[in-house]
Amino acid sequence: MVKPTINQLKEEFAKYQYDFTMKFHLVGVRSRANVPNKFDDLVGVVKDNEVYWFSATTNAGRHWLVNMMNPKGTALLVAKQYKNTYVLGMHKGQYKALVQYAPVEVYRDANRNEIAEESQVIQRGNFGINIHRANASAISTFVEKWSAGCQVLNNPKEFAQLISMCEESGVTYFTYTLLNEWL
């Protein structure tokens, strides 16, 4: 996937009338390829007039798509801007991550196949759709149980860098904008 430049991001934000005026915010790009169970997406930090990209998934792993936690289906975050929706906190009480603070919208994929797909069913609420890491000590190749709908970085060093940038930003409530790949 092409890593969008800051100017390409600004143009895409303008197309949807998303706010790009914040000096620090988070961005995700969901891959058009949508390779099942792979980290084929991007999560980025926009800081001042620069963007830093990290390898990630914005889709649930195969395990949770087939073995749904919710009878309505597995969560797939709807691509849109979520202003002031995340805060630094503990993911499952285990380590520092960006945790959902305010409602988001998710599709509910209930067909139990291995592909994360948009559906007719959309729910709005607090579902624990966090931004966290996979393995703590190694780069993960497969999503599997690492995501049941969360935005997950597969490289623990990149995740540590993202958290460090968030801590140093002075921001309390983080905006996350999820885009579908357009380049």
Quick check: pTM over 0.85? yes
Q: Which residues pair with 37 in a beta bridge?
A: none
| Domain boundaries along the sequence of the chain | 6-180
- Kindly report, residue by residue over 82-110, the tens digit of the pLDDT: 999 999 999 999 999 999 999 999 999 99
DSSP states along 108-175: EE-S-SSS----S-EEEE-----EEES-SSS--SB-GGG-SS-EEES-HHHHHHHHHHHHHT--SSEE
User: How far is residue 13's CA from residue 55's CA, in Å, rounded to a whole number?
Assistant: 21
User: How far is residue 156's CA from residue 154's CA, in Å, rounded to a whole number?
Assistant: 6
Q: Give the DSSP H or E segment for 99.
A: strand 95-100
Q: How confident is the model at residue 65 (pLDDT cuts 50, 70, 90)?
A: very high
User: Per-residue pLDDT averaged across 39-57, rounded?
Assistant: 97
- Predicted confidence at residue 103, as pLDDT, reads 98
